Amino acid sequence: MPEIPNSPGSDTDAVIAAALADLDVDHHRREPGQFLVTLPGTARLQTHCWLVVRDHAVFVQAFVCRRPDEEFENVYRFLLQRNARLYGVHYTLDRIGDIHLTGRIALHAVTPDEIDRLLGQVLEAADGDFNTLLELGFASSIRREHAWRSERGESTANLQAFEHLFR
């Protein structure tokens, strides 16, 4: 539904646009009220996060990791326990089991500080939990990748975070 000029949604759109510009974070405005933000990370090189303005709230969604290959129970336990410590977002699964961070903010609560806080939480969770999720849900694949690269004399530099799995 298109926003009506001077409606609460269009004001929110302007607040988000200004906040993203002030934060100097890479983003693209797809349509009015739709922002695709790219957050830089270390464990996860980047996280794409949608901010979408609707009639009563701004919805936040970021893909974190594909469906785990193994140890589903341990992965899901970690996600549920982690949800208790997150601000403004929570871990969810889509219909095929991929892991996302989702949340929403009431339109009246959207401020530049709140956008900063929310994006900071998305980045902290997606980047900070990424290696744990990989280790829990993809340990066998990581071990196979390490063995394959080692046998061929290829670099294993980007697997160093999982060195303890190769002993």
Dump the DSSP string for 72-97: HHHHHHHHHHHHTT-SS-EEEE-TT-
In a domain, 1, yes or no: no
Looking at residue 112, its pLDDT comes to 96
Could you tell me the pTM of the whole model?
0.88
Q: Tens of pLDDT along 77-117?
A: 999 999 999 999 999 999 999 999 999 999 999 999 999 99
The parent domain of residue 58 ranges over 8-139
In a domain, 164, yes or no: no
pLDDT at 152 over 70: yes
Q: Tens of pLDDT along 14-37?
A: 999 999 999 999 999 988 899 999
Looking at residue 4, its pLDDT comes to 43
Place of tokens 């129970």: 73
Quote the number of domains for the chain.
1
The mean pLDDT of 115-135, rounded to a whole number, is 97
In a domain, 144, yes or no: no
The domain spanning residue 25 has which CATH number? 3.30.1460.10
